[in-house]
Amino acid sequence: MAGLKQDRALKTREAILRAAAETFDELGFHGASISMIMGRAGVTQGGMYFHFKSKQDLARCVMLAQRDYVQLPPGEDGLQRLIDITFHVGRELQENVLFRAGVRLAVEQGEFGLQDDTAYQQWVEQFHGLLLVARERGELLPGVDEREFAQVLVGAYSGTQLFSQIATGRTDLPQRIAALWKYLLPCIATPRTLAQLRATPEPRRPGTP
């Protein structure tokens, strides 16, 4: 019996998070309301406040869970996989409402009283790990600091996707990511590695959505 209750509670929490993400993605933090989220999730007020004590708490959970909503593509670690991940994340921003809402809330978090860089730091750590492997493989120029570049990349990527969102609703995001790499790669990759890298969006395989 306890297991069934726990399973129901978990499903209710997931339904609330999905409904909240969809609502925040459409309307932003201020435009969304608890009643809208409850209606979309199909839960009662008691069910809502059992899991989340406020709209701010709910927004923070959606924001910090953004990495949970993205399954990164497989591949051999190094510079090429780092590039591939940036294009994959760009596609997720176009198509994955749960992830997109978390990214939007990370930008808007000042509106609900937060100053939390956890979501950004998670991406820094992900990229830093790939850059350390790239260093071991001899792919990076001697003067490149792996952690510093990971921070630069997260900052540049965040600005690029936000500019794309405002300008075109992210329809041109793959082209903007390609332009980003066009100028960044010569500054970090050895000439031999640079000649071998593909810094354009990978065509979708037949049968993939």
Q: What is the pLDDT of residue 204?
A: 57
Alpha helices in the chain (DSSP H): 2-31, 34-41, 45-51, 55-64, 79-95, 97-108, 118-136, 146-168, 173-188, 191-196
| Residue in the block written with tokens 């500054």 | 187
Q: What is the pLDDT of residue 209?
A: 44
Q: What is the pLDDT of residue 4?
A: 62
Q: Tens-of-pLDDT digits for all 209 residues of the chain? A: 556 667 788 889 889 999 999 999 899 898 999 999 999 999 999 989 899 999 999 998 888 877 778 888 888 999 999 999 999 999 999 999 889 998 888 888 888 787 889 889 999 999 999 999 999 999 999 999 999 999 999 999 999 999 999 999 999 999 999 999 999 999 999 999 999 999 998 765 444 44
Q: Which amino acid does the sequence have at 201?
A: P
